[in-house]
Amino acid sequence: MKKWLTIGLALILVLSVIAACGNNKENNGKQGADAGGKKKFAIIFKNTGNPYGEKEMEGFKLAIEELGHEAILKAPDQPTAEAQIQMIEELISQEVDAIAIVGNDPDALQPALTKAMDKGIKVLSLDSGVNPQSRMVHVNQADPERIGRVQVQAIYDMIGGKGEIAVLSATSQATNQNVWIEWMKKELEDPKYADMKLVKVAYGDDLRDKSVSETEALLKSFPNLKGIISPTTVGIAAAGKVLTDKGLKGKVQLTGLGLPSEMADYIESGVSQWMYLWNPVDVGYLAGFAADALVSGKITGKVGDKFTAGRLGEKEIIADGEGTQIMLGDPFKFDGANIAEWKKVY
């Protein structure tokens, strides 16, 4: 009996050692895969069918693949926070390493994004930001103040400093749009704009058909309208079409933020004398490198952190109200002198 007990205990000991070795091998293998394998980086844009968003996601994918990892590109059919929340939950289940989001709402995404960060996922926003509690850092296209002010300065020059103007924005919750519009209003407080009046801020929700309808409604409601500022690529292209179709070239001026490829015809025809933007591919590309820097621990999101963003060179994190941000660069002016060159690029 004693002999069999001894043999049994010996077998249990051997099996325990084998199991421990197997577990160590499994864990070492997982650590090895995590350390040396491809990581998963996701980007969520506002909605599908947006050429600007497609270029931004293209830039993100370019950066992530340049770094040797996997890029996951997502966008809901409609630009709503609810649709983005569902996608965030899906990405949490997929155990991605980072989520870069172009927010449809600054606050509504907070519970889902906080949950992602609690799971160890690095979260950053780009373009249209979420509140500082919902992300580690924000990637900004350009100085919001300069973006807002320069568009008012442009319409001032176009209409001779006198008359009614309107703004055609994206969604009423879009963080970037709202910040730019606030700076537009601050610029309009300058006494030089005493003869200009902002009559309405309309919202086309970054949907082409709705942006067309909102432009037509502005023209009907304000028959003396002299200028439209549209700080959204979908909106400015829709407004350009309406002004062209109605033969209002020179009667109602148009400026804002647009894609050169979509605005070339309107600039060349004179419907829009000039407009502004940055390269959305570069915005996404910068976000991709920022996401990798967060995942690798090169940056934590605090002011003063620095990293190299591929062909864009070294970038530094700066303050952004209660949070932090990475600035891409200044808004660029597109006009009749350079639009033919840039329309071939994006």
- Beta-carbon contacts of 138 under 8 Å, excluding residues fewer than 6 positions away, are 124, 125, 126, 129, 130, 320, 323, 324, 325, 326
What superfamily does domain 144-277 belong to in CATH? Answer: Response regulator (3.40.50.2300)
CA distance 339 to 334: 6
Q: Give residue-wise pLDDT tens across range 149-206.
A: 999 999 999 999 999 999 999 999 999 999 999 999 999 999 999 999 999 999 999 9
39-141+280-329 and 144-277 in the same fold? yes
The residue ranges of every structural domain in the chain are 39-141+280-329, 144-277
Cβ contact 85:112 at 8 Å: yes
Domain 39-141+280-329 sits in CATH 3.40.50.2300: yes
What per-residue confidence (pLDDT) applies to 36? 56
Instruction: For residue range 259-279, list pLDDT tens digits in order.
Output: 999 999 999 999 999 999 999
Note if the pTM is more than 0.85. Answer: no
For CA atoms 329, 331, 333, 339, the dihedral sign is positive
For 127-147, how does the pLDDT look when each residue is reduced to its tens digit (9 = 90+)? 999 999 999 999 999 889 999
